[in-house]
Chains A and B, each alone.
Chain A
C-alpha cells in the first residue's frame, strides 16, 4: 500500500499551516500501567513539540499544577495528554488545561488502546504510542477554541394531565421551588383514581378507600403556591425553541365563577335537565349544572353547556350571582423549559367483544362500573345491585383479558398489567360485604408479581374460585347469564350460570395521550402509548428533549408505579433546571443569510432539532447531536458544524500515517463514544488487538466523509473500519452511506473491500476484537 503523498493538496495544507503553534505534550506513566510496557524515554525523544513532559500520575492535582504552570510559563497554544482513555479522564484534563480553551486539548490513549492490548510486545507498543501522540498533535493543530454551550432552562414546567401521575409530578416540582402549570381537560383534577373506589394494599392484605388516600395529595397539590391549575383546558399547539416550549392552551369556560361559587348546590336543585353522569360511568343521572364529585377541584359547580337549555333558573337562584351563561373560551400562552406528559389511559370499549354481550345484557358490566357500584359515593351508595332489577347478585363471573393479550384485529397484544389485581380486589370486597356471593374469575394467567401474590392467596382463601380459561361467549337463557368457557386445567367445556358478569377491560392510551403525541411530535409505540427513550435506562424521557412522560400515558401501570414514575419525571425536570445542561459545542449552526427556508433539513434530522421560528430556521442546541446529516440536505450550504471537525479528522489521519514504515500495515478505525468505550473494554480485559489497528474517536461516525476515507486510503491507510451502535438514530443512514463510499473508493481505483462497516455493542468487546482480527487478516491478503 501507498504512503503519505507529499503532493496531496490536503497534506500540503496540513503541513504548511499552523506550524508556529506551541504544543505541549504531557505523558502519564499511570503508575506503571503505561510505562512498564511503553518506553517513555524513546517516546519523548521521538516527539517534536515545544515541551514533552512525563509524570507518574497526571490526573492527580500535582499533574494539574505541572500542566498549568507549563501552559502559562511556556505560552503553550495546544496540549496533548498521552494517558488513559478520554472516556475516563477527558473531563478532568479539559479542566486542567485552563486557562486554555478546553477544546484545544486532545488525549492520546496510551493505556486501553496501546499498553494494555500490546503488553506482549513493548517495542510495538512504543511505536504505536509515538504514532498516537503524533496523531493527537496534528489534531490539536486543527482545533479552534469553542465555548461549551451551557444551557439554562427556565425555572418552570408544564404538566399535562391532572390524574394521580400529573398531580404527583407537579407537587414534587413545586416543592423543589419550580413553578408549574398543570393542564387538565376535565372540569376537575383527580383523574381515574378519584372514581376507583377502593384500592388494595398487598402488605396489609386489605382494601383502603381510594379517595381518602388521594385527598391529602389533592389538598397539598391544590394549595401549593407554585402550582397553577388550568382545568377544562387543553393544549392546542406546542412549539419548541432552544429547549423551551411554547404551548397554546385553550381554556373552556365553566359558566360558573369559581371564586364566587360556594357549592351550595341550589342551582343543581332547580335545574331540570338530566343527563348521564359520566363520573359514574353513566350509571346515574346528573343535572346540566353539576359538581363532578364532592371533593372535586375547583371547588365549584360547572355548566355542561351542550346540554344546558339556558332557562335561567340557576342564574336567578344563585345567592352569589356566580353564574355567567355568556362566558367565552380563553387562549392562554404558556412558556416553559420542560413538559411532563401525564395524559393517562382510557378503557377498552367492551362492545368490540360482542360475544360478551355488554350492550345486549344490562348485567354484563365492566370492572370500572363495578367500582362505581361498590363506591359509597357511587350510584347505589356502595350497595351491590344488579342494574337490571336492583337485586343483589348471588353469582358473579369475572372475565379477564377483555381486549388485552389479544392477537386479533381490534384487540391489544399487550397485558394490561393491573386487571388481575383489580378483579381480585373487587372480588374480595364483594366477598367481604356479601359472604354468600359465589364469585368465579375466569383468567388467562394470574399475574400478581411480588407482594401481590399474597393478596392473590388471600383471595383464594376467602373462597373465590378461579377457572383458567378464556370465555368464548356470554348468553342469556331464562333470565340467567351463561358464561361458556373451557376449563383448560381440567380440559373440559363448562357453562357457568351467573347473575352478573364483570369484564376486566384493557387499558389503552387515552385520546389526550394520542393527541399530545401528535401536537408535540413525540414518538409513540405501536400501541400508541408515549414511547420512552429507553425502556431500561431512560424510562421517563422521550425522544423530544425536555419532554418527559409518566403514568399510564406511557404504558399500563398501577397507582404505585404511576407515582414512582411521576416523581422520577419531576426529578429529571429538576436536574435540567438546577444544573442546566452542558452541551458539547460541536453542533450545527445556520447561516441565516444563505438559508432559503426550504425545510429539507427539518425532515432529514433524526433528532428533531430543527424548526422554523419567526421565519428563520432554528437549531435547538439541546437536541442537535452534531451528526451533520442536515449538511447534506442543504443545497445552499447554509449549515455549518462548529469546531472544525472535518479538518481535525484530516489532521488525525495525517498524523496517524505520516511515520508509516515500509511493509507496515495500518488500519484506521472510526468509532463514536459507544464504539470507543467498547474498544476500551478490549484493553481493560487485556484482550489482544492487531498491531495495525488505530482507533479514532469521532463525535458521530456520520461526520467521517467519503473524502476522509479516500484521503486515508490514498495516503497509506491499508483499511478503514467504521463501527456504529445499532441503537443510534443515525445507524441506518450510516449503513446506507457505506455502499456509496465503496463505489467512490472503486472510482479512485482502490479495492472497495478496504472499507468495512460493522455494528458495535459495548458488552461484545470480544466480538469487536475478533472483527478487527478478521479485517486485519482480510487486508493482509488483499490486492489493489
Chain B
C-alpha cells in the first residue's frame, strides 16, 4: 500500500459538510484526535469549486487557479498533505495537481495571473503538490490507522445490519490512487470491520452512483430519484439499517430524499445514513449532538444511538475484538 501520512495534514473543509452535516467535520476531528493525527483546519482555505464546476459555473481554469491558491495555503502552513472530507474535493484537487504539474502552459498562465494580481507568492512550482503522495481522503487516513480505531471502540455494533456506499469521485476518477478496490470498493467495509462488525459486503447496486449527479438532481430529477430508489430498494431487501458514506453529496441524496422517494413510490424505508467518521465517532462514544451532529440529519439517528448505547463493551471484550482482528 502507498504511504499515508499522519502528520502535516491540512484537513480540507467542504462546503457540503459545513452547510449540510457539520457533524462530519467535528466527528473527523474527534476521531483524528483519538488516533493521533496531526492536522489543522484553516479558514484561509476556500471551496474547491466542485459543485459549481460540475454545474458549468466554474471552468477548469478558474478551478485550477483556486486549487493553486489552496495549495499555496497548505504549503504556507507547512501542511502539504491535503486530506479531504468530500469525494468531490478529493477528485477535483487531484486533477488540479496533475494539471499544474504536467501542463506547463496552464501553469505559466496561472502564475502570470497571480503575478498580475499582486499575489506573486502564490506561484505554483512544478511538483509542489503530488496528486498521489499529497492528496488524500479522510478514509485513507482512517484506513491506515484502523488498528488504532479498533482500540478505541466503546460500543458493540454487531447487532446492526450495515452496508456501505463508496462515492464515485473517490472510486471512479483516480483509479490508481483508490484503496480497497474500484469494482467492488471495500475501504469503508474494511474500516468498519475494525470497529467490531462485518458489513453485509456486496449487495445489488453496490457500485451504482447515489443518483445525485450534481445538477442531475435538479434538471433530471426523475432519473436521479429512480437511481436512488433502486439502491434503497436493494438495501431494504437485504434488511440494511445503516448505510455508511464517505461523500457528503451522496449523504445529502440519501438522507434528504429518502422520505420523498418513499412517499412518491408509496413505500417505506428505515435506513439511516452516517458518514464513516460519524459512525466511528459514535462507536467511540462521542456526544451524538455536540460532536456527531445528528440533529442535522433528516432520517432520525436517535433510535440508533439509543440502541447503540445499550451495548457498551466491557474492557476485556474489547481487547478480544482487537486480538481476533489482528489474527485475520
- Residue numbers in B under 8 Å from A475 (CB-CB): 204
- Please give the distance in Å from B168's CB to the nearest CB on chain A: 13
Q: Are A408 and B182 in contact (CB under 8 A)?
A: yes
Assess whether B175 is interfacial by the CB under 8 Å rule.
Answer: yes
Q: Are A409 and B176 in contact (CB under 8 A)?
A: yes
Instruction: In the complex, identify which listed stretch (A207-215, A329-337, A351-359, A450-458) lies at the interface while the others stay far away.
Output: A351-359
How long is the Cα–Cα vector from A360 to B202 in the complex, in angstroms? 9
Interface residues of A in 368-424 (CB under 8 A from B): 408-410
Pick the contact of B175: A352, A355, A409 (CB < 8 A): A409
Assess whether B33 is interfacial by the CB under 8 Å rule.
Answer: no
- Please give the distance in Å from A743's CB to the nearest CB on chain B: 27
Assess whether B183 is interfacial by the CB under 8 Å rule.
Answer: yes
Assess whether B207 is interfacial by the CB under 8 Å rule.
Answer: yes
Interface residues of B in 144-191 (CB under 8 A from A): 175-176, 181-184
- Residue numbers in B under 8 Å from A360 (CB-CB): 202
Interface residues of A in 322-358 (CB under 8 A from B): 352-355
Q: Are A409 and B204 in contact (CB under 8 A)?
A: no
- Please give the distance in Å from B8's CB to the nearest CB on chain A: 28
Q: Are B175 and A354 in contact (CB under 8 A)?
A: no
Q: Are B202 and A354 in contact (CB under 8 A)?
A: yes
- Please give the distance in Å from A39's CB to the nearest CB on chain B: 59
Assess whether A728 is interfacial by the CB under 8 Å rule.
Answer: no
- Residue numbers in B under 8 Å from A355 (CB-CB): 183-184, 207
Chain A's closest residue to B181 (CB) is A354
Q: Are B183 and A352 in contact (CB under 8 A)?
A: yes
Assess whether A664 is interfacial by the CB under 8 Å rule.
Answer: no
- Residue numbers in B under 8 Å from A354 (CB-CB): 181, 183-184, 202
- Residue numbers in B under 8 Å from A352 (CB-CB): 183
Q: Are B207 and A409 in contact (CB under 8 A)?
A: no
Interface residues of A in 471-509 (CB under 8 A from B): 473, 475
The 8 A CB mask of B70-100 against A (1 = contact, 0 = none) is 0000000000000000000000000000000
Q: Are A409 and B184 in contact (CB under 8 A)?
A: no
Q: Are A408 and B175 in contact (CB under 8 A)?
A: yes
Q: Are B202 and A410 in contact (CB under 8 A)?
A: no
Chain A's closest residue to B234 (CB) is A475
The 8 A CB mask of B192-203 against A (1 = contact, 0 = none) is 000000000010
Chain A's closest residue to B205 (CB) is A473
- Please give the distance in Å from A567's CB to the nearest CB on chain B: 41
How long is the Cα–Cα vector from A409 to B174 in the complex, in angstroms? 10
How long is the Cα–Cα vector from A307 to B207 in the complex, in angstroms? 40
How long is the Cα–Cα vector from A475 to B234 in the complex, in angstroms? 11
Q: Are B202 and A408 in contact (CB under 8 A)?
A: no
- Residue numbers in A under 8 Å from B204 (CB-CB): 473, 475
How long is the Cα–Cα vector from A360 to B200 in the complex, in angstroms? 13
How long is the Cα–Cα vector from A73 to B44 in the complex, in angstroms? 98
How long is the Cα–Cα vector from A355 to B202 in the complex, in angstroms? 9
- Please give the distance in Å from A365's CB to the nearest CB on chain B: 18
How long is the Cα–Cα vector from A352 to B183 in the complex, in angstroms? 8
- Residue numbers in A under 8 Å from B205 (CB-CB): 473
The 8 A CB mask of A14-26 against B (1 = contact, 0 = none) is 0000000000000
How long is the Cα–Cα vector from A331 to B176 in the complex, in angstroms? 43
- Please give the distance in Å from B191's CB to the nearest CB on chain A: 19
Chain B's closest residue to A356 (CB) is B183
- Please give the distance in Å from A160's CB to the nearest CB on chain B: 34
- Residue numbers in A under 8 Å from B182 (CB-CB): 408-410
- Residue numbers in A under 8 Å from B181 (CB-CB): 354
Chain A's closest residue to B184 (CB) is A354
How long is the Cα–Cα vector from A410 to B207 in the complex, in angstroms? 16
How long is the Cα–Cα vector from A353 to B183 in the complex, in angstroms? 7
How long is the Cα–Cα vector from A355 to B181 in the complex, in angstroms? 12
- Residue numbers in A under 8 Å from B176 (CB-CB): 409
- Please give the distance in Å from A768's CB to the nearest CB on chain B: 33
How long is the Cα–Cα vector from A409 to B207 in the complex, in angstroms? 16
- Please give the distance in Å from A410's CB to the nearest CB on chain B: 7
How long is the Cα–Cα vector from A355 to B184 in the complex, in angstroms? 7
The 8 A CB mask of B237-275 against A (1 = contact, 0 = none) is 000000000000000000000000000000000000000
- Please give the distance in Å from A654's CB to the nearest CB on chain B: 48
- Residue numbers in B under 8 Å from A410 (CB-CB): 182-183
How long is the Cα–Cα vector from A473 to B205 in the complex, in angstroms? 8
Give the interface centre of B182, B184, B204, B207 by most chain A CB atoms within 10 Å: B204
- Please give the distance in Å from A483's CB to the nearest CB on chain B: 13
How long is the Cα–Cα vector from A282 to B207 in the complex, in angstroms? 30
How long is the Cα–Cα vector from A354 to B207 in the complex, in angstroms? 10
- Please give the distance in Å from B209's CB to the nearest CB on chain A: 12
How long is the Cα–Cα vector from A409 to B179 in the complex, in angstroms? 12
How long is the Cα–Cα vector from A98 to B58 in the complex, in angstroms? 81
- Residue numbers in B under 8 Å from A409 (CB-CB): 175-176, 182
- Please give the distance in Å from B28's CB to the nearest CB on chain A: 28
- Please give the distance in Å from A216's CB to the nearest CB on chain B: 44
- Please give the distance in Å from A310's CB to the nearest CB on chain B: 31
How long is the Cα–Cα vector from A410 to B204 in the complex, in angstroms? 22
How long is the Cα–Cα vector from A753 to B119 in the complex, in angstroms? 43
Chain B's closest residue to A354 (CB) is B184
- Please give the distance in Å from B184's CB to the nearest CB on chain A: 4
- Residue numbers in A under 8 Å from B202 (CB-CB): 354, 360
Chain A's closest residue to B175 (CB) is A409
How long is the Cα–Cα vector from A360 to B205 in the complex, in angstroms? 14
Chain A's closest residue to B178 (CB) is A409
How long is the Cα–Cα vector from A353 to B184 in the complex, in angstroms? 8
How long is the Cα–Cα vector from A360 to B204 in the complex, in angstroms? 11
How long is the Cα–Cα vector from A409 to B183 in the complex, in angstroms? 9
- Please give the distance in Å from A79's CB to the nearest CB on chain B: 58
- Residue numbers in A under 8 Å from B175 (CB-CB): 408-409
- Please give the distance in Å from B121's CB to the nearest CB on chain A: 37
How long is the Cα–Cα vector from A352 to B182 in the complex, in angstroms? 10
- Residue numbers in B under 8 Å from A408 (CB-CB): 175, 182-183
- Please give the distance in Å from A64's CB to the nearest CB on chain B: 64
Chain A's closest residue to B237 (CB) is A477
- Residue numbers in B under 8 Å from A473 (CB-CB): 204-205, 207
The 8 A CB mask of A278-297 against B (1 = contact, 0 = none) is 00000000000000000000
- Please give the distance in Å from B231's CB to the nearest CB on chain A: 12
- Please give the distance in Å from A317's CB to the nearest CB on chain B: 43
How long is the Cα–Cα vector from A298 to B183 in the complex, in angstroms? 43
- Please give the distance in Å from A132's CB to the nearest CB on chain B: 49
The 8 A CB mask of B126-139 against A (1 = contact, 0 = none) is 00000000000000
Interface residues of B in 30-86 (CB under 8 A from A): none
- Please give the distance in Å from A408's CB to the nearest CB on chain B: 6
- Please give the distance in Å from A480's CB to the nearest CB on chain B: 13
Interface residues of B in 295-317 (CB under 8 A from A): none
Chain A's closest residue to B207 (CB) is A355
- Please give the distance in Å from A503's CB to the nearest CB on chain B: 14
Give the interface centre of A353, A354, A408 by most chain B CB atoms within 10 Å: A354
How long is the Cα–Cα vector from A154 to B214 in the complex, in angstroms? 71
Chain B's closest residue to A352 (CB) is B183
How long is the Cα–Cα vector from A408 to B181 in the complex, in angstroms? 11
- Residue numbers in A under 8 Å from B183 (CB-CB): 352-355, 408, 410
The 8 A CB mask of B2-23 against A (1 = contact, 0 = none) is 0000000000000000000000
- Please give the distance in Å from A232's CB to the nearest CB on chain B: 36
- Please give the distance in Å from A279's CB to the nearest CB on chain B: 30
- Please give the distance in Å from A326's CB to the nearest CB on chain B: 37
- Please give the distance in Å from B178's CB to the nearest CB on chain A: 8
Chain A's closest residue to B172 (CB) is A408
- Please give the distance in Å from B300's CB to the nearest CB on chain A: 31
- Please give the distance in Å from B10's CB to the nearest CB on chain A: 28
- Please give the distance in Å from B229's CB to the nearest CB on chain A: 15
Closest 3 CB pairs of A and B: A354-B184, A475-B204, A409-B175
Given A354-B184, A410-B183, 4 additional A-B pairs, CB 8 A:
A354-B183, A355-B207, A409-B176, A410-B182
Instruction: Give me 22 A-to-B residue pairs in the complex whose CB atoms sit less than 8 angstroms apart, sorted by A's number.
Output: A352-B183, A353-B183, A354-B181, A354-B183, A354-B184, A354-B202, A355-B183, A355-B184, A355-B207, A360-B202, A408-B175, A408-B182, A408-B183, A409-B175, A409-B176, A409-B182, A410-B182, A410-B183, A473-B204, A473-B205, A473-B207, A475-B204
